[in-house]
Amino acid sequence: MTYIVDQGLFKQLGLLDWSDTCHRSMSTYDLDKKSYTLTLWDREYAIYPHEGTIKTLSFEFGEQHDYFHVFIVNYLLQVKDIPLAGEWISEKDIAGGVTFFRGPHVIPTKQLSDTFLNDT
């Protein structure tokens, strides 16, 4: 579902210094393919900024949510160089986490998607 990602985000990613991006995101970069490889939640993805595509390399898993590719590109663009703490946090440690995770809730993503789907 790469088409859902604004091509401007891929352009921004293509302009970044790949070595800095790899350092911040713990990804790797293939100079020949001009692609990042990123592992998220035990799944590997190849991100091609100059083609504006993302390919799932872990085929044993099904497809992710439609907006997962948006998350991947934004992660690569925005990730900060902050060391991992190596500590698990619970919902109680996150401001508003207890309320957020208490019961089922729906964020109106379908309504937002329907509203802005063809907005270019």
Residues in the chain: 120
- DSSP-H helix ranges across 16-118: 18-25, 68-78, 97-102, 109-116
C-alpha to C-alpha distance for 41 and 33, rounded to whole angstroms: 23
Burial (CB count within 10 angstroms: exposed 0-12, middle 13-18, buried 19+), residue 42 = exposed
Low-confidence residues of the chain, pLDDT below 70?
1-2, 61-63, 101-109, 112, 118-120
- pLDDT in the model for residue 26: 94
Q: Residue 50 has what pLDDT?
A: 96
pLDDT at 20: 98
pLDDT on residue 12: 97
